Structure formats: C-alpha cells, structure tokens
A and B are shown apart, each in its own frame.
Chain A
C-alpha cells in the first residue's frame, strides 16, 4: 500500500525507491547543443506545424502563432464603437495601469517615485489586486550578486537559454537592473532566505551556470507580490477590481489616450481618459494551447495582446510557448499545477517508470520538457494516469541530500498541496508532465518599455523580446520588476509633455474592416477576459433572459 496513489502505480513507485540510493552518486550528462536542437525539433510542442497558423490581419500580419492566439487576434471586438459615448469620461487620470499583478503594481510605485501622484493614477484589473501569475511564482528571482557570479554570466545564460533570439538591449536591461531590484526589495521589507551572515541562499535553475536564484521558501512570488501590493495600498493608489479593460482608446493624434472598461458585476461600461497607459495584462496560459493544462492564474487570457494589437503595436516571438517540465500529473485535481524548478534545484531528479534517469535534471525548460515527452510517448517509459502519462520526480532525494525536514521547510506550498491529496512528497515521488507555463513572446517593446504606439507602455509577461524563444527560471519575477519599474519611470516622464487630442475608437472600426477585407468571417469575440470552465450539461441549457 502506497498512500495517496492507486494500486496501478505501486510497482513503479517501488522501483523508484529501490534505485534511489545509487542516484545519490549518478549524474546524467548534459546535452550538447546539437543534440538538444534535435530533441526540440522532434518533441517540443512549438515545432508542431499543424498547431500554428499565420495571422491574416494587423501590424504583424504574416506572423506564425498558435491557433488559439490567432483566433483571438482574428476576432471581433466585444464593443461596438458606435454605442460608446466617449464624451462622458468616468475617470480622467494621468496614468492608467491595466493589470493588477506584479508588473502593473511595480510600474505604479515607480511612477509615484517619479512624480505622479496616486490620485492621478488608476490600476484596473479583471480580478482582485494581486491576482496574477506573479503571486504564484514559486522558485525565485535571478540576480547575479555572488562574487563567483557576474551580470555578464547572467546575460549569457539568459540569451543562451533563449536560443540567442532575445533582444540584446532588453537582456542587458534585465541583468543590469537585477541587483537594484533586489536592493529595492530589501528596502521594502521583502523577506528572502539568507545564510547566517545575511547573504542570500542561492541555488541554480535550469540553464543557469551559477547559483543565482533568490527565494523565499517556495512562496517567492507571493512574498514579493504581497509586499509590493501592501506598499501600493499604503500610498492609496486607486484600484478598480473586477473591471477589466476591454478596448483601448486613442486620440486624434494617434497616441493612446485611455480605455473602455467593463464592470463585470453591473455590466456597465466605463470610459477612462489617460495621458499614458502601462499595459501589464500578463500572458496566455488560460488559452490552453494544444489542450495543455496550465500553471497560470484564472485571468491569464492575453487580453492586452488583443487590445494593443488593435491600436497598431507589433508582436514578437508569439510562436514560442513555454511548457514547464514539471506540472503535476497526479492527482488529477491538481493536474497542470506548478511543481517549482527549485525542487530539482534542491536535488530531486526525474526518472522513468523503471526508476531510471533519462535526462539531466536542469536542462533549459524547453529541452527538459521535450525529454519528458519523448520518455513518455516515444520510448513508452512513462507512468499511465487516467488522462495521460507522466514521469516521476524523485522528491525524497531532497531529504537524503539535505537532511530530514528539508521538504517541509523549503517547499511548504508544495508539501501542503500534495498533503491535501494524501501524498507525502518527502517520502514518495511525485508524478509530473509538462504544463503550459509562460508566454515567451508578446508585445514588442524597447528598453524603456515603450511600444511603437505613443503613450503605450508594456511590461511583464504581456511584453516580448526579453526571453526570446525560451525563458529561464527566475527571470520572470525579475522581468516584471525590471520592466515594470522602467515602464513606470518612462510613463511618468512622458506624461509631462502630453497634450491629448479628441478621443476616438476609429482604430477599432478600422480593425473590423481589416478583418472583413482579409475574408475573416467569424462569431468569435475578443478579448476573452475569463476562460470557460462551466459544465457541458449546464451550458447546453444556458439561456440568458436578460432579467
């Protein structure tokens, strides 16, 4: 009897237990570049050509992307511009921040430090302030602060992990600002795990050549986000919750000048006029690309991509999706949820159904994920579940290497999650399979977080170019801090010189025309705002009586 697991898995788990001892010594060799390239081509979901298409409309017309993303770009607006009264402005502010996660909140704070009063700002978000992928980040934040490390090595790891497709000036900004961000966090009172001297405990992640991950147990994202949010609350930065932007407004001079919001509860629309907009709407995990499960929060539906695209911004690297190698594969109630890379950073290794090693535990994420898929579906060495397959992550190794109690101490969130479903991950391995984790690409920005449309800034997961075709662990929490900060500073500077013209939604009308001219006839509407998870039977009888 193995607690928490069905009988069908017991034999395999026993093999994992039996082979553990020798894994203390055994190391699986890292792949050469040529070898990993071929693995990616054959097994990474990004390389399935039938899962993508060329988008037929807009400024990045001709760009290949997953069908799920193209579907959103080739969709009708939610609003009819002729029904909106733009002369009746509900909120007139200097700075509108769309998205209440890490990037948007950091941008608000840095706009404040650069002279924008909280009264002249507005954060709008579709869920609650802080509901975001930032809150869920577990593993850590990369900062090259140890004497053995350097920002240049951080640069090299980041651009190599991105297969040399990253925008160099954005990577430079990322690594150069990293120590400043960490210092800022210290000043705000963010708690990190440290040694007795006060230096940070640091471990390595996939594709990093140095121990560089700074963490707060496995609640790193939550600790950063709740402190940043607390600071924003102390400053009285106004936040409209459950009121997502559904379309951007421009002015007659072609600059971005506000947004239409929807109050999700009263269904009223609201008009915001703003001299600058920071778009920090996050990524696209909840589109479930290629039907993958996701680690992402409920609102990750790429709304910002759609809205920005209609104003004329270019997109970049949207063909590239990050599948995190270790999503939970069992129990099904938590399928797809994140098992942080830090679990491997602390010594757990992936093994197949026979307890054999098949890949180095810390390859870059896309390579690691591809190796898992190969092991399950080409070599047929995966463990069957009711809905698919998975490989074991031998988590009990952590305590063999670092002592008893380490799992509970270093991974309270993970330990707690599995315990809720009857599994003690310090004693039993856990079953994992790649899960949709991150939008590598996004809206094109420069190193000041400017898009190609005046007045519009983008940061966080919504923006692209920083990570190229593959992001390294610990670079997304860093990214939202670095580019959130830069967006806030740039926006604050810009605002001083802005004189808005007349508000208009002409770009939306034009976009509709362009859809028709491209021969796209569809009932689809976008942005999506919230994904659909209602039961089929309930939906079949759904009838909105307008009561």
Chain B
C-alpha cells in the first residue's frame, strides 16, 4: 500500500465537480487554502483541469454533521466533497477553522448536547410551573373586564344550547339561595362586582356548580337536590366565588393557550403524528393548572366558612356524596380536580 497518513493536511481532497449544465460528474482533487483577504480558495485539479475557485462562506457555514458538503460555485457549477471531516481538517490546517461556523462545531459536541437536553427539560418545567402562571397574571391585568363579560355571556349561551336545560326549582327556593349568595358575595368579595347566580338543569353534567368569567355562577338543580342543608350549598358557592375573585376561568383560558403554543413549538417537529403526541402532555399540564386553581378555590371557601363558623365538614360531606354518583372522576394525572381524599382531608382540617 502506498497511501499516506490521512491526517496529512497537504493531501488533496476527493471531490466531484459538476459544471451546472449537464449531470456529468468529474472526479477531481481539491486543495484548500486561505487567501490573504481571508477568503477560502479551492484549487481544483483533474481531467486536464486546473483552476482556483473561491468557496462561499455562507455555503461553508451551512455544512451539517458529516453529510457531504455540496457547495454551489460562483460560475454555476457545484463542488461536492466526498468526506466532510477531511474538508474541515483541511480548513483547519489552512487556518480557516472558523469558516465552518460555530453551529456546526456545537452540533458535533456530545457534552453540549447533554447540557442542552438537561436545560430544555429544566427550562420547560420551570417555565410551566412558574413562567406561565406569572405571565398569565400579567396578561390578565391587561385584559379588560369587559372581555370577561363577553366571554362569560358567550360561554353560558353555548352551554345552554348544548348541555344545560331550564331550571325546575321553585321561585321561592331560587330567591332564598340568591339572597344567601348576595350576602356571601358582599362579605367574601367586597371589591368585585358583577356577580350573578343562575340555576339550570344540569343534563349530563349532573350535580355541579361552576363559575364563568365575569362572575356568572351556575348551580344545577341536581346539586341543590343533593345538598342536605344550605350550609353545604354555601360552601359550594363560596368555592365558586373564590374562582371568580381569582379570575380562574380567564386564567385557565390564557394558560391553556400558552401551553398549547409551547407544546406545539417543542414537539411540532414530529411530523404528522405531532397532534397526537403534543395532545397528551398539553392535557396533562392543563389538568395540573386546573387542579391548582381548584385547591385555591377550596382554600378560599374554607377560610370564609371558618370565619362564619361553618364547619369544613359541610364541604367534605357534600363532596363525598357527589363522588358516589356515576361518571365522577376521582383524581389522577388527567383529572381537572384534586382527588376526593385530598379535598376531604383539607376540608376536615377546618372545623
């Protein structure tokens, strides 16, 4: 064998030269050098050909991994280097190591890759845990309350069309509960206006209560029927008032939009399966946010109850009873509410 050490920087590089007019390929030998003005010169030899061409710095920076460097030349031709590692060695020994670009060097570095993986994981977690809620609070201050009213009214109208039915509660019962609600509101949330209590037939939502943006609280007939006394209903109403005071419905709307965007950005690269792959972590994160605001609303309700000497047992009793009806979820990573056991434990702590 009469080939020399491949590390010899003076060894010419093997390349294919195309003239840009036809698809014929010519095997040539190329030597790389650096001109005084810093430009990179390729001396091409072979097939009776001997000439120098300048290599575009943009094309050199565009090299990726050890993929062949396919470099367009200024005369319309193309030079294809068969061994990209050898090209970079040649660039380095010509004193032009920087020509390949810092991204290309970064991509060749395992340590950097590892650090990157760790920082993406930690960064994503920190952003989801602290960044998104903080940004949402910021954004909420910028969203005028009139938007809440619009979203709330539209939300209720949509629910009326799809799930909820007109209430069957007697007028007097409604009036009683509304009176209790306004007392509660004046006391628990003196700074917030726009509260309104609505009654509806729950349909497949069953015994339930929820707060829409702008202070619309909806309570289903089934829930009123399931309660053994009005203190239980007051506990639920206090929980919903907590949601309104914290503007939770709007907050979740803002946060879920942010997470959906983030997940799409992170996992959007996964071609056609992306929607399926991105849907699961998005749902997980949004469920976690939802559980957080439920915990805060529970805490709000229990604080108010304690001030008015209503035992936390009332909330615990009602939650326990409701959990026995079919179709109620009982915790888990995808659940919108914390597990029953946890909520009851917290409630019972406040006697």
Say if A and B assemble together.
no
